[in-house]
Structure 1
Amino acid sequence: MKIIISLVVGLLASCASAPRQELLSSQRITVQAFSWVPPAGAGWFKDRRVGVDRSLLIKAHEGGDPYENYVIDARILTAPLFQSNEDFLRAAQSGKSIQENASYRVLAHAMEGHVVHGEYCALYKVTVEDRSNTPSLGFGVHRRLGYMLMDRIELSCRHPQDKTKILDIAFSLSYYPGEADQELMSKAMSVVNSIQFLKTSVDR
């Protein structure tokens, strides 16, 4: 269940020229047998280039820096059946590639179980210092010197009708030290609480 963080950075770097669709307020997003709603408010754009098993939403942060963005990156993963919730939680923890990425220095992280509509899920929270050389992407000019930070709240949840299908949805914000969004957690949890499991053709 590894998440390749660099893919998000690359997509952000080219989003100015990529086909984008602005979402309506409270527009529900559906990927396969899962759906959810981004936080209320205008400014969310959907990247149309991703495949049918993924959704990528981007919104500019208030700071005006081209590297300050909210991102909701959701994808459907396939995994083996786990014998217990504890096994699932351990697998979710070991699959967090952000902890192994040399471009990020992990400042804090935590993993815990979280129940969504009766289904046991894994909720992961991490703060990292972004040491990647983002100006080389040609995406724009930083308004401040120094490393940026990124807060990320990620939920991994199995579908109750087919537990080999996992929704992995991550809500993140890149920002400068001292400029964190104090409401980020509540925004992320509004997405988590909006998740719905849709009917599948597989009943295990």
Structure 2
Amino acid sequence: MKFTERELSTIVEALDFWEEGLYDEDQRIMDESQLSRESPLSQREVRDLLQRFLDEREKANSSSRDDVGAELVVFVPTYVRERNLTISPNTEAGEYTYSKTPILIGCSSGLRLILGARDKSDVSKPDLLVERRPHGWSVFVHPNAGDPVAVLAIRDDGESFLVPANEGALRITSEIPRSIDLH
């Protein structure tokens, strides 16, 4: 079972409080009627359980500090409608290919999507880094392992901003270049 940091903190504080107030001076449970069919934990068992939660919280904190997280590879089809219409304008061409391209999704300082890769060390592939901000989201666009070329900022109210981050590496146009579909 996985717990969020907030859940772990609440459980740890509750167990700590419970350990102090649950037992009378003879180390017996004060009110067993509050418990289910199971016999209550001894004070030692409560301390052990508390330590297990503390260990779990420390493990969760060290994992996030080390940017270790689950990875997932999803496969997306390629949109080809524009290309197909250029090649054969009078046919009922499909919009997507049957072949799928991988996207590796993993945790970094946010959610990282590596486009066209199955390996997080593949620095030749473009990636997007999605970070949560106090009142919205920032999506950093990296064409390779270098600096971002742009940041897409989206406020929680939906207002959006595209901020060039590396002027020389970013071409701003009013429409998607046809070369992305035709080559």
Interval containing the TM-score (normalised by the shorter chain): under 0.3
TM-score by length of 1: 0.23
- Structure ranking higher in helix proportion: 2
- Structure ranking higher in strand proportion: 1
